[in-house]
Amino acid sequence: MTILHRPETLDEICMLLEELDDAQVYGGGTAIEILRKQGVLFTDDLIDAGRIPELRVLEVSPEGVRVGAMVSVRRMETDPAIRRVVPLASRTYGKVANPRVRNTATVGGNVAHGDYRLDPPTALMVLDATVEVRSAQGARTIAVRDFFTGFQETALEHDEVITALTVPAQPAHSAGRFVKMSSLGENDWPSASTAALLTVADGRRTLRLGLGALAPVPVYLALDISGMTAERAVSEAVAAAEPLMDPIPDIRGSSDYKRRLGLVAVREAVSSVCEEFTHG
Ligand X SMILES: Cc1cc2nc3c(=O)[nH]c(=O)nc-3n(C[C@H](O)[C@H](O)[C@H](O)COP(=O)(O)OP(=O)(O)OC[C@H]3O[C@@H](n4cnc5c(N)ncnc54)[C@H](O)[C@@H]3O)c2cc1C
**Interface with ligand X (CB under 6 A):** 24-32, 34, 49, 69, 73, 96-97, 101, 104-106, 108-110, 112-113, 118-120, 156, 161-162, 189
Closest separation in Å from C-beta 206 to ligand X: 25
Q: Reduce the secondary structure of the chain to three states and give it as a string.
A: CCEEECCCCHHHHHHHHHHCCCCEEECCCHHHHHHHHCCCCCCCEEEECCCCHHHHCEEEECCEEEEECCCEHHHHHHCHHHHHHCHHHHHHHCCCCCHHHHHHCEHHHHHHHCCCCCCHHHHHHHCCCEEEEEECCEEEEEEHHHHEEECCEECCCCCCEEEEEEEECCCCCEEEEEEEECCCCCCCCCCEEEEEEEEEECCEEEEEEEEECCCCCCEEEEEECCCCCHHHHHHHHHHHHHHHCCCCCECCECHHHHHHHHHHHHHHHHHHHHHHHHHC
| Residue number with CB closer to ligand X (109 or 176) | 109
Q: Report in angstroms how near the CB of residue 67 gets to ligand X at its nearest.
A: 12
Using CB atoms, what's the residue nearest to ligand X? 109
Between 7 and 27, whose beta carbon lies closer to ligand X? 27
Identity of the residue, 97 or 264, whose beta carbon is nearer to ligand X in the bound complex: 97
Q: Which CB, 104 or 206, lies closer to ligand X?
A: 104
The CB-of-112 to ligand X minimum distance in angstroms stands at 3
CB of residue 171 vs ligand X: minimum separation in angstroms? 24
Nearer to ligand X, 155 or 244 (CB): 155
Which lies closer to ligand X via its Cβ, residue 181 or residue 209? Answer: 181
In the complex, the smallest distance separating the C-beta of residue 55 from ligand X, rounded to whole angstroms, is: 7
